[in-house]
Amino acid sequence: MARIVFIGAGSVEFTKNVLSDILTLPGLGASTLVLHDIDAERLGTAETMANWMVAHLGLPAKVEAHTDRRAAVDGADYVINEIAVGGFEATKIDFEVPARHGVRQTIADTLGIGGIFRALRTIPVMVALGNDLAELAPDALLLNYTNPMTMIPRSVWDGTPFKNVVGICHSVRDTQERLANLVGVPVDEVGFVTAGVNHQAFVLKFEHEGRDLYPRLAEVVEADPKLRATVRAEVFTRFGHFPTESSVHGSEYLPWFLRHDDQVEHFGVQIGAYLEWSRENLDSYAETRRRLAAGEGVEVEPMSELASEIIHSIETGTRRIVHGNVCNDGLISNLPPDACVEVPCVVDRSGVNPTRIGAMPPQLAALNRTFLNVGDLTVRAALEGRRDHVHQAAALDPNTAATLTLPQIHDLVEDMIDAHGDSLPEGIRR
């Protein structure tokens, strides 16, 4: 059976969700589940949890745990990446240093100054992983959850010989369900085409029985003051297509919101939301440890995680359509060919097969390019050790540029480099 490796398995709640799927989907219950983390305590918690789940379900699956990444990935069929380099302390830096310079953020993991530095400290680890896979598991499929999604898969295929990388995220699927609910049509009866870049993809087609549902959606938005006072609805109204990311997250990719007190208040944007969520995750981890130590176990509840569904489709031939983040290579003709783009993919025994979209509406491609410019320079900065590219990426970031002058951005970047220290690539750190 399949050898399925979890990189960053110490993210215990997330690991539990994916394991719940793998262990309950037919045909995967005899898999070898390989857990890796550099934090021995968290790895031990994940191992205890996985063994409890396997025993609770009475399955023949095997569980391995390794602090050595090479031992974990050797011979892998699938590798699920969920690392957070630097953990909560690094996340605090990503928020607190920019805040001292007057830059507001909400999630800080995808774009913005926080996204840039999350990428800079993550890319060296991903390059090392890609090189390990090229040597030890060249036929494996790397399924990446770690943000920033437009940068992490690209860093592997640009910086290593290993190319079989697909980024996965729930934002498209969740958006499609939300839109179907808003217009009152069952989601399985709606014809969707959604594409762009991760966290800034757009619903390009939204139809039911050949009828365009966008006019109906516009009526729903106009009739609901609370819905109208969201960033997503504002972008939809101004640009003609609904974006896939939440209003909290989407606000920090654009220049028009976080800089202005009245816009933050009007749209109800939660500054620093991810810090609060991260603290809650620490509490959740502590409770999971307590339950396992007390022999209470954990809840095994299928979560429809994309990684497990992709693995199931490849292993069993069950055809699914998922949205994957892959190398563009002409899939979206008016975005850069080397960009990481999010498009529908057909998954079956042959693997993950992306769909060609053609040209996006020009206003949407223009928004995506401002997003991709930051990622392009950040990946180059990490792979080439170019500090100047870090400064340039920050200067081109929409939210940062709307808030600070160029000299102020320079000082912010230098302070971030000092704060993150040796976690950054050589050539960028002091």
Query: Domains in the chain and their CATH numbers?
Result: 3-167 (3.40.50.720)
Residue 403 has pLDDT above 90, yes or no: yes
Which residues sit in the known binding site?
A: 147, 169, 199
Strand partners, 78: 4, 141
pLDDT of residue 281: 85
- pLDDT tens per residue, range 140-182: 999 999 999 999 999 999 999 999 999 999 999 999 999 999 9
279 band by pLDDT with thresholds 50, 70 and 90: confident
410 is catalytic: no
277 band by pLDDT with thresholds 50, 70 and 90: confident
- Provide the pairing of β-strand 32-36 with 62-66: parallel
Average pLDDT over residues 202-207: 98
Where does 32-190 have alpha helices with state H?
40-57, 69-73, 87-100, 112-136, 152-159, 171-183
Average pLDDT over residues 374-388: 98
Cα distance between residue 109 and residue 118, in whole Å: 6
- pLDDT tens per residue, range 50-68: 999 999 999 999 999 999 9
- The radius of gyration of the chain's CA atoms, rounded to the nearest angstrom, is 21
The SS3 of residue 116 is helix
Cα distance between residue 375 and residue 379, in whole Å: 6
Q: Tokens for 305?
A: 């995680």
Cα distance between residue 236 and residue 264, in whole Å: 18
Cα distance between residue 334 and residue 330, in whole Å: 8
Active-site entry in 101, 170, 260, 266:
170
Spatial contact of 371 and 198, defined as CB atoms under 8 Å apart: no
Which residues sit in the known binding site for substrate?
A: 147
Q: Tokens for 144?
A: 């990446």
Cα distance between residue 410 and residue 417, in whole Å: 11
Q: What is the DSSP letter of 206?
A: E
409 band by pLDDT with thresholds 50, 70 and 90: very high
Residue 424, class by beta-carbon neighbours within 10 Å (0-12 exposed, 13-18 middle, 19+ buried)?
A: buried
Cα distance between residue 346 and residue 74, in whole Å: 28
SS3 of the chain: helix, strand, coil, percent, to 5: 50, 15, 30
Q: What is the pTM for the complete model shown?
A: 0.97
DSSP 296-322: ----------HHHHHHHHHHH---EEE
Reported for 183-189, long-range contacts at CB under 8 A and 24+ positions apart, including other chains, are 183/208, 183/213, 183/216, 183/217, 183/220, 185/213
Q: Tokens for 101?
A: 């310079």
pLDDT of residue 406: 98
Residues 6+ apart with CB under 8 A from 126: 81, 146, 152, 155, 156, 159
Residue 389 has pLDDT above 90, yes or no: yes
Cα distance between residue 384 and residue 365, in whole Å: 27
The SS3 of residue 86 is coil
Which residues sit in the known binding site for Mn(2+)?
A: 169, 199
pLDDT of residue 430: 78
